[in-house]
Every structure is written in structure tokens, then in C-alpha cells.
């Protein structure tokens, strides 16, 4: 799993994930995501490069979301693959974390 922090200069961090969000992938993103959740008002995560997501990966997304929510912030997922979107919907995560089709829609939601 690769985490690409595309922009963290403002109050919103733009992050891209590439690879499998399994146990190993979750270990790769855990600390950077928690750090961003503690420092930023919002996080936009591009999920288009995620080919698989396991429950441990979902856990890290939920933890970051809850940390942001406690401070009045938000986390938004953008453009997940069909497989990943299905897992997020089936697990109920989309009730907690908004999933948008485009970055434009996500940024509008974060404003």
C-alpha cells in the first residue's frame, strides 16, 4: 500500500491510496492517517487506486473519521473501485463516511 499526500498545505489534506488495504496496507497508512486526522480539519482520500479493502483497513478509515468528527472535521472518500465501494456499502461504512464519485463533489461537501 502506498499513501501519497498530494496536498496538506491548507485545512484539507488530499491523500491518494494505491494498492491493497489489507493488514500490511493498514500498517502503512495507520500512522500517517492518524497524524493528518489530528492536524487537519478535513481529509479527502482518493480511493481509485485501492484494489482490495479488508476490515483492518476500514478500521483505520473509521478511526480517522471519528478523530476528525470530534473536532468538527470530516473525512470523505473519492472514486473507489466497484469492489471497494461494494465492501464499504455492505459493511455500512458509507453511513459514517461519505463516498463521492469525484473530487469536485467531495470538495463541495467539505466546504
- Domain-wise residue ranges, the chain: 2-110
Distances (CA, A) of 41 to 9, 89, 97, 103, 108: 12, 25, 15, 17, 14
What pTM does this model have?
0.94
Instruction: Tell which CATH classification among 3.40.190.10, 3.30.750.24, 3.40.50.300, 2.60.120.380 matches the domain 2-110.
Output: 3.30.750.24
pLDDT tens readout for residues 23-43: 999 999 999 999 999 999 999
Q: Is the pLDDT of residue 111 over 90?
A: no
Dihedral sign from CA coordinates of 11, 8, 62, 96: positive
Residues 6+ apart with CB under 8 A from 3: 15, 16, 17, 28, 29, 32, 33
Amino acid at each position: 500500500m502506498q499513501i501519497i499526500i498530494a496536498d496538506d498545505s491548507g485545512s484539507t489534506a488530499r491523500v491518494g491510496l494505491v494498492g491493497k488495504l489489507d493488514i500490511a496496507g493498514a500498517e502503512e497508512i495507520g500512522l500517517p492517517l492518524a497524524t493528518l486526522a489530528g492536524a487537519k480539519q478535513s481529509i479527502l482520500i482518493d480511493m481509485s487506486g485501492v484494489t482490495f479493502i479488508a476490515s483492518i483497513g476500514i478500521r483505520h478509515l473509521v478511526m480517522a473519521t471519528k478523530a476528525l468528527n470530534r473536532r468538527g472535521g470530516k473525512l470523505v472518500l473519492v472514486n473507489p473501485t466497484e469492489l471497494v465501494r461494494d465492501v464499504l456499502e455492505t459493511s455500512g461504512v458509507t453511513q459514517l463516511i461519505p463516498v463521492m464519485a469525484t473530487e469536485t463533489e467531495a470538495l463541495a461537501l467539505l466546504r
